[in-house]
Structures are given as structure tokens and as C-alpha cells.
Amino acid sequence: MHQLESFCAIASQNNTGTAEDRVVEEPLKVPVGEPMGFEPKSAVVELPVPLKPEDAVSTAAGVDGKGKALPPEDLLQQAAVSPVVADESQSVESAADDDEVVKVDEVVDSAAKDDGDVADKPPANPAIAKTSLCSYFRKKGCNHGENCKFAHGESELQQRPDGSWDPTSERGKKKEDKVSTEEQSSEESRYRKCLVNIPMNWSQQKLKSFLDEKGVTYSSAQKRKSMKVGFLGFRNQEELTKSAEILDGMPVANKRLKLADVLPREWERKAIGVTEAALAGDKEEKDNDGADTVMAEDGSGNENDGKEDDNENKALEPYRSVTQVVTPLAHLSYEDQLAKKKEEIIQVLKRLARNIRKGCPSGMLLPDWLAAAKDREGLPCEFEGILPSPVVDGYRNKCEFAIGLGPDGKQRVVGFQLGSFREGINAIAEPGECRNVSSVALNFVAAFQTFIRASKLPVWDKKDNTGFWRMLTIREGREPGSADEIGKEIAEVMLIVQVCPTGVPEDRATEEYSKMAEVLIEAATTATPQLPLTALLVQEHVGVSNSAPADCPLRALPLPGLDEIRNTGKPVDEVLGHIHDYIGLSKFRISPTAFFQVNSAGAEKLYSLAGVWAGLGPDTLLFDVCCGTGAIGLTLAKRVGMVVGIEMNASAVADAQLNADLNGITNCRFIAGKAEDVIGNLLREYAIDGPVSQKASEPETGKSEASNEEQVSTLVSPANQQNGDSRPRFNNIVAIVDPPRVGLHHVVLRTLRLHKQLRRLVYISCNPDSLLANAVELCMPIKEGPVEKQKQRGGFRGSNLGHARRRVKTLPPSEPFRPVKACAVDLFPHTKHCEMVMLFER
Ligand SMILES: C[S@@+](CC[C@H](N)C(=O)[O-])C[C@H]1O[C@@H](n2cnc3c(N)ncnc32)[C@H](O)[C@@H]1O
């Protein structure tokens, strides 16, 4: 049944319109639609992310708002130290499975069960099994000491309940090697299949019992933890065919099982001698028999249930084209792209209503807005549609180009990776056909590729994590005003070349850098018209993933003879490490690692809509939560009494402060810190009334390097210290939040919800899953009565939404917000992503 129909059918059974009828009886269960993608909030082209465990460990320290999928173990390691990091793999799961919330009784498995709020506390039960290694202990020491819930070394490590070992441990690695060698050599590797739509909470043992019960004969069955996929091995074609007859389409927990082909990893293809031609032949066969799902055996999944019209069956081909990977909607007219995104957002909004309804305490009246959803075809609020991007082509002001080998495995290429490393895809393709990249960037990429092909130093190889040249980031700054012919309007360009210096003598590297600078300068000066080149930086990064931490050192290279085309009118030293861009007429300095929306013309629309909905006035205190370089607060500052911006990236905060001066704005204050650590104190400092309860706004993370008191003292300006009552106090407090892909930290949500004076909140989101989960925490009604105690870790496994619903129950009674209206803004033409603005009020 169509989702909408099923919603209406169930809604009409439960809701006939009277107040009594709106009392929640049972959680509403409806099938869930495909997840849509908003843009990952990194300012990078959506590149597939390497997802080997060791990649994630290296990424752990570098959270700068980029949405990067990491393996659960490492995400949890990360969560244990840095509460802002959530598990994207969870959110991906939750997108597909927002109803899948499972209680697990006794089994203790730290990696799979943590949620952000408990991960940072020492385990209540010292007997909890330490089944994952602590990556912090391994890298630079862990200050949780004995209380750390991860194993400090192999000797502390315990086996997991399913008999496996942490895959990053020596024992885990040995076992994996053994398994893969055996598998590879055995006949059965020819008859491997991927089983999709297994309930996430099933263990491997449970899967085996299920198969036995259904009379399926198989030689091996593997189940990925917290994933919907498993891998089955069969001894021969007959066994496979019979099993497919039993399993394919079998309903299990509201879903139908699917038996799909496995796409071997690249190294496996080589090992088992599967040629690209053979894969192409395989495609024909599959097309004929209608199989439509292909999974990479490492579980990364290109799960395709046939709804995607653009990439269907493409994973069967050796490589997808660069446009399919980077700009998968480019084959549609822009009008059709907008229509597609709009429809997907409608589904996201409906899921929001369903999920909040589902979590409403039984016996309670549904809030009016939720009861009214049935008159809006399931929408929780007005949806104002999607605003198009003012610029459709070449709009990106930041792209990260990988450096590696092309699909032939020989030629050095600078461009985009053709799939995810987990799919076994390592090949890089030139970006020429990607419509979102500017012509200026393409010119620099071409020149840089010529240089790289001549260089004696090796390019980065993700398989063995070796090589020197890793990534070229191009950031552009445009002229003020709206942009139509964007290529002509780029006034500043910053090039950041990431290298891994391991094993390369300093003088050798320096020699290469100066050759590189020469080539790039020549490219800039000989192009017609000349290309701007404002800054050339080298980032030395030794981590496994290209995603370097924000504080990774950067070195500016001299650009001899280029002063005249830098076009800044400033001394060279002042501009070397920054570029400038505009939102409308407001000028922004941007540091190399600071976030800035990649489509500045589109961002202007986004911020202006947020400003209108925020209902600002001279008596308003505007909290710009996750403010980056201050883009939102500064563009709205003239309409409010004061702006307080909060941002964890220190160089972005420095930019924000400078940007206030650049634009002659004096009523803004920017705080460097994690929002969860500082927002409670800031509200106390500026609001006329404090929050509902002091406790509610106190940092709960315990992870801030400065103590709570230290944080407070850094927040009080000298003027206020001299005269305690002189600080401005505000009645009308509004928050505009623009969090990274993982969404807002639960402490921030709790603080905002419990602060009575905050009546209006504008949420800007790039990720539907975190928006949904966060909306649950803001909008879910709470029953009067004793507050439920949060259960200790180890008893819960579920989606982000499940965690959100569970956390709401632990809140003290507080007035929920209601969604008032939503609108999408397309900042990312040709991709599946867009931004969404949602107004919440109470
Ligand atoms: C999507 S960007 C938005 C930036 C800004 N509002 C803009 O439009 O340019 C999200 C920002 O949140 C910051 N961030 C991520 N986690 C944070 C946290 N826990 N506290 C404060 N800032 C955070 C990131 O560094 C990034 O600058």
C-alpha cells in the first residue's frame, strides 16, 4: 500500500476527530519510505568515504561538521570522548527503519548499544564486557582510565557474545584473514548471496536458527551487526536456487527478504579472477532475470530496491560514471530535480508526524498540530515547497579532489572517487563532466593533474595507506551580489594540497612543492582570462582517511609574481591563509578549515528565509547555534538586539569575529566551544529568566576540557565583570540552529526545550534523519508524573529516532514545541541533497 494511503487508513481508524478519539492507544506502525539525502554538511563534494575501521579511527579526532560514515565501534569510541559525534551509520539505518527500535535484555555489547548520552559516563556496571579496543588509548592515551568502557590493550579485550573479536584487534584481524582466505579459496565463494532486510537486531546465531527453521541449506551465514544485511554461502547452484525460492520475498518483521548478488571487493575480483568483462556479462544475465539488488560484501551496501531510477543496476558495472556518483540527478531537467526533491521532503515530513505520534505517551491527548496532520495528508505542518538555487551550474565554492589512480589502475588522476572504498572502489575519475564544479576549479585540476603525472613521488593508495599526494581542495570566493555567470565572478581561489610526508625527506618534499607552485602559477597566469590564485597551502596529514582534523597544520607556500592577480589590495601575509566570499553584500573571511555553505548564492536565500521565520526585532537575542564563520548571525544582526554565535571550530570563530568588523557589526558575540558545553550558561547569562531548572542547562557531557566554572568565566566580558548588572538581558530569545549532519547534541536540545523564554526556533537541516530525531526531542509531548530514569548503557539498541523517543521520557515536564512550517532550499542542484528550514514554536 502506498505510504500515504496506509497512513490515512490507520489514522482514520484511530482518529475520528473528537478529543477522546485522539487519545493515543497504540503506536502507529506504517511502512517507511526511502531515506532522502540532504547535503552532507561538509563543504565538499559528496565523495564516498573510506570505511575501513582504521579510517574511522583517524577520522575520529577531526569532526568539523562533516557527515562521514564510520564503523560503529569507532563512532562509539568517538562518542565516548566527543559527545557531538553521532553515529551516521545509525542515522542511515534509522532512515530506512524508523520503527525499528528494539529492546535487548541482557546481552552486553558495548559497540552496538551505546547512545550519546551514556557513552560519556563511566560504566555503571564494572562487569561490562570490554569487547572493543579503545582507539584513544591506542593513539595518544585515554583519560578515562579504568573506567573506560573500551579495552585498553589486547589483554583487556574480551570476546563478543557472538564469538567474534573486535575486528581491529590482533585476534579479530587473524580471524578475518582466515575467514576471507578460506572463503576465497572455497568453491562456495561462487555461490555467495547477500540477504537484505534482516531485522537489524538479529544476531548471527538468530539468522542461522531462522534459516534452519525455514529449511534453508547453506554452508555459511554471516550477519553484520546493526545492519539489515547478511551474507549466505551455498555449496552449489542447486542449494542456492532452492534457498532463493524459500527466502526471496519472504515477509519478516514488516519487510520482505531479498536475496541479492554480492559485488566482490576489488581485491577479491582480482584474486578470484573476475574480469570486468565477466562482470559486464553478469550484468546482462541479471538484467534478464530481474535481480535488482547488489551489495558489496563488506556490507557497505548499494542497496537498491528498484525505486531509484537513475542508478538502478549500475553497481553491476565495474564502475559508475563520475556524473552518476557526484551529480546523479544531472540527467533530469532542473524542474524535475526540484519536483523529485520536493516529493522526498514531503515523505520526510510525514515520517516526522508518524514518529511523534508513535512516541506520544498512551492515554494522552494528541497535540492539535498532530491531530490536524490527517487533514494535511499526513503532513505535520505547512510545507511551502522548494526554493530553487539561483545558480544551477558551477555553483560549488569548495570541492575536494582525490588524487589516485584512474579506472585502468595505471594513470594518475585528480578527481572524484567512483564509489565507496567499502564497495571495493578506489578508482578516481576526472571531474570534467560534473556540472556543479566551476570552470575555474576544472582549470586548476587539469594543471595539477599534469603536474602529478610528472611527479616522482607516489600518489595515495587507500588499499595500503601509502603514497604522498592525497587530495587537492579548491575553495573559491566570489564577488558581491547575486551570481548568474558564476565562472566570471570568482575573485579569490585557495588551493590546499594534502600530502602524507611519511618517509619523504623534507628537502625532497620542498622541491616538489616549489615545482607545484610554479605549475599552478603558470596555469593561473596563462589562462584566458587569468585565474585568480590567492593562496596555496600544504596540509601534511598522516591519518588513514583524507578527512584531516581541523587543527591539522597548514603551511602557506609563496606565490612569487602573483600579487597583482591576487586582487585583494592587501599585504601578501595577511591574505595567504584565507579567502573571502559574500552572502549578498556581507563579506566573509573564510579560513581553510572553516565551514562555509558551498553555494553562496543559494545560502543567501536560505538565511533570508530563516531570518523572516525567526520573527526578529530589536528586542530579540538571536542564538546562532553552530555558527561557523558567523554567516547567519551576521547577515541578520542589524535586525536584532544582539547575536550570540556558538561554534566549536576555533578558526571559524576567529573568522566570525573578524567578519563582524569587516561588516561594521558591533552587536555580535562569538563563543568558541561545543554548543552542548556552553549554551546553558549563555542562556543564564542573557535571558531575563533562567531555565526551568538549573540542572537542565548544565553541561552533562563532562567532556569539556575547561570545567563548567572556567567556561562561565570565559563567557563574561570584562565590562560585565566590573558591573554585574550592566549586561544586556532579553525577553525575546530566538534560536537559529544549523547543526552538522549528525544534528544537535541532546544536551542542546534539552536545554532549548527546557528554557521557557525560548518560544521560537528555526532549524536548518542538511540531514532528514537527524532533523527527525531532533524534532522528536523538541516536539514530543511528555506525560505529567515522575521522570523516568535513563536506563544505563547496555540495554538498548535502536535508531536515532528510538534514542530520541527514549530520551524524551527522561525530561522533566516541559512545554513541547510544534512544527509550524517547513520549506526546502535547493543548494545542491544535480545532487540528491537539499537544505531544509523548519520553524518550531510554542
Ligand atoms: C552546517 S555548519 C553551519 C555553519 C554556519 N551556520 C553556516 O551556515 O555557515 C555546522 C557547523 O557546526 C559546527 N559544529 C559541529 N559540531 C558542533 C558543536 N557540537 N558545537 C558547536 N558547533 C559545532 C561545525 O564546525 C560547523 O561550522
Choose which residue among 607, 648, 763 to substitute to test ligand 1 binding: the one with the highest number of ligand atoms within 8 A of its C-beta.
648
Choose which residue among 644, 647, 835 to substitute to test ligand 1 binding: the one with the highest number of ligand atoms within 8 A of its C-beta.
647
| Residue 724, pLDDT score | 53
Residue 490 one-letter amino acid: I
Give the DSSP letter string of 464-500: TTB-SEEEEEEEEEE-SS--SSHHHHEEEEEEEEEE-
| Residue 224, pLDDT score | 73
- Using 50, 70 and 90 to split pLDDT, how confident is the model at 477? very high
Residue 84 CA, closest ligand 1 atom number: 19
Here the contacts of 459-464 (C-beta below 8 Å, separation 24 or greater) are 459/403, 459/404, 459/405, 459/412, 460/402, 460/403, 460/404, 460/500, 460/546, 461/404, 461/405, 461/426, 462/50, 462/404, 462/421, 462/426, 463/266, 463/267, 463/426
% of residues, the chain, pLDDT over 70: 67
Residue 738 in marked binding region: yes
Alpha-carbon distance of 255 to 571, in angstroms, equals 63
- C-alpha closest to that of 413 among 426, 425, 403: 403
Cis amide leading into 367 (omega within 30): no
Is 645 a pocket residue for ligand 1 (Cβ < 6 Å)?
no
Q: Which range is most confident: 122-136, 183-197, 199-213, 659-673?
A: 659-673
Position 706 pLDDT exceeds 70: no
| Residue 482, pLDDT score | 57
The least confident of 127-136, 239-248, 716-725 is 716-725
Alpha-carbon distance of 402 to 547, in angstroms, equals 11
Query: Where is pLDDT greater, at 666 or 173?
Result: 666
Is 746 a pocket residue for ligand 1 (Cβ < 6 Å)?
no
Alpha-carbon distance of 294 to 292, in angstroms, equals 7
622's enclosing H/E stretch is strand 620-625
- Using 50, 70 and 90 to split pLDDT, how confident is the model at 787? low
Distance 122 CA to ligand 1 centre (A): 28
Residue 114 in marked binding region: no
Residue 343 in marked binding region: no
Architecture per CATH, 398-581: Beta Barrel (2.40)
Q: In terms of DSSP H, where are the helices of 114-192? A: 116-119, 135-139, 170-185
Question: Which pTM value belongs to this model?
Answer: 0.65
Structural contact between residues 746 and 116, judged by C-beta atoms closer than 8 angstroms: yes
% of residues, the chain, pLDDT over 90: 43
Distance 703 CA to ligand 1 centre (A): 18
| Residue 425, pLDDT score | 83
Residue 629 CA, closest ligand 1 atom number: 9
- C-alpha closest to that of 241 among 207, 218, 214: 218
Is 516 a pocket residue for ligand 1 (Cβ < 6 Å)?
no
Position 316 pLDDT exceeds 80: no
Distance 645 CA to ligand 1 centre (A): 10
C-alpha cell at 387: 526554493
Number of C-beta neighbours around residue 729 at 10 A: 12
Position 687 pLDDT exceeds 70: yes
Phi then psi dihedrals of residue 536, to 5 deg: -130, 120
| Residue 591, pLDDT score | 92
pLDDT by residue (tens digit) across 294-315?
Answer: 232 322 232 232 333 333 333 3
pLDDT by residue (tens digit) across 731-772?
Answer: 889 999 999 999 999 999 999 999 999 999 999 999 999 999
**186-326 has CATH 3.30.70.330 classification:** yes
Alpha-carbon distance of 815 to 810, in angstroms, equals 14
| Residue 656, pLDDT score | 97
Is 66 a pocket residue for ligand 1 (Cβ < 6 Å)?
no
| Residue 788, pLDDT score | 61
Distance 4 CA to ligand 1 centre (A): 34
Is 39 a pocket residue for ligand 1 (Cβ < 6 Å)?
no
b/e per residue 221-250 (b: at least 16 CB within 10 A):
bbbbbbbbbbbbbbbeeebbeebbeebeeb
Count of all residues that appear for the chain in the document: 842
> Which value does ipTM take for this structure?
0.99
pLDDT by residue (tens digit) across 592-608?
Answer: 999 999 999 999 999 99
| Residue 95, pLDDT score | 30
Position 710 pLDDT exceeds 70: no
| Catalytic position from the list 148, 766, 779, 834 | 766
pLDDT by residue (tens digit) across 602-638?
Answer: 999 999 999 999 999 999 999 999 999 999 999 999 9
Alpha carbon of residue 284 to chain centroid: 35
Query: Where is pLDDT greater, at 310 or 544?
Result: 544
Q: Ligand 1: which residue has its CA nearest to atom 24?
A: 65
627 in catalytic set? no
pLDDT by residue (tens digit) across 186-198?
Answer: 455 578 888 888 9
Residue 11 one-letter amino acid: A
Give mean pLDDT, residues 674-681: 96
Structural domain spans, the chain: 186-326, 398-581
pLDDT by residue (tens digit) across 170-191?
Answer: 887 775 544 444 444 445 557 8
Please provide the average confidence, as pLDDT, over all residues in the chain: 74
Is 826 a pocket residue for ligand 1 (Cβ < 6 Å)?
no
- Using 50, 70 and 90 to split pLDDT, how confident is the model at 240? confident
Is 745 a pocket residue for ligand 1 (Cβ < 6 Å)?
yes
Is 738 a pocket residue for ligand 1 (Cβ < 6 Å)?
yes
Structural contact between residues 245 and 259, judged by C-beta atoms closer than 8 angstroms: no
- Using 50, 70 and 90 to split pLDDT, how confident is the model at 108? very low
pLDDT by residue (tens digit) across 548-573?
Answer: 988 788 888 888 877 544 544 444 44
- Using 50, 70 and 90 to split pLDDT, how confident is the model at 640? very high
Distance 64 CA to ligand 1 centre (A): 7
Distance 735 CA to ligand 1 centre (A): 14
Position 2 pLDDT exceeds 90: no
| Residue 416, pLDDT score | 96
